[in-house]
Structure 1
Amino acid sequence: MPRDGPIGRKGVDDTSALFVPDSVPKGWTGADLAGVKPGDVVAVWGCGAVVQMAARAAILLGAERVISIDRIPGRLEMTEQHVGSEVIDYTATDVGAELRERTGGRGPDVCIERSAWRRTATTLWCTPTTR
C-alpha cells in the first residue's frame, strides 16, 4: 500500500523509491560525461527514469534547451511536466527535421541516449556534437 516513502512524497512506496538512487546518479553522470555546458541545446532519446534524470541534470548544468524524444504518451507528458524538457513524439514526426527546425537548422550540441534492452547491459551513450 502506498504511503509516505523515504523520499517524502505521498503515494511513493518503499519499493518504488528503491530505484531513485539508481536513476539519479546514472542520469547525472550521463549529462556530465556528455559535457553539457551552459547555453547548450541537448537532445535526449527516451523518457524513462534514467533519461528523465539526464534531462533534468542537463537543465541544472545550464543547458538552454533540453528536448526529450520518446513515443509513450505518459512518459512524454511526465517529462514535460516534471522535468521541464520540451518533448517530441518520434511516431508523429521526423525527429531529425524537427530538431533542425527547433534549433534554427544547427541541431543539438549534445545528444544523450540510454539503452536498457534485456539482452544488453544498461548503457548511457553521451555524444557531444562538434562545436
Structure 2
Amino acid sequence: MEVFEIEKRLVKGAIYGFLIGLALAIIFIPDTITRVETNVINVTTSYSISIREYLLKLLRFAVKTSLATTVVLWIREFYLGPRKKGEPSFLIDFVKSFTIVFALIILGVLALSLVAYFIGR
C-alpha cells in the first residue's frame, strides 16, 4: 500500500510542478526578443516571436520544472523514507522541493547571464 502512496505523491508533484512551472513561464518568459547592436550608434531591434515558438518555450520550461520537482520528491522519499503520522502534508514538501528547484533554475540563469556578459565584454 505504501508504494501507491509514494507513486501518488510523485504524480501529484509532477502535475503541480507542471502547472506552476507553466504559470511562472507565462510570467517570466517574454514573447518579444530585443537585440541591441552597437556599431557607431546603438540600434535596438525588437520583434515578436511566433506563437508556436513561444508555446514551445513555455512547455519546455514547464516540463523541466515538472521533472525537477519529481526528482526532488523522489530523492526526498528515497532518503527520508515513509512518512510517520503527524508529519506535515504533501503540500509543504511540494513547496519546499519547488522552491529548491526554482532557486536552482534562477541561479543557473544568473550564472549563464554572467558568463555571457563577461564573454561579450
- TM-score, normalization by structure 1: 0.26
Which is helix-richer, 1 or 2?
Answer: 2
Structure having the higher strand fraction is 1
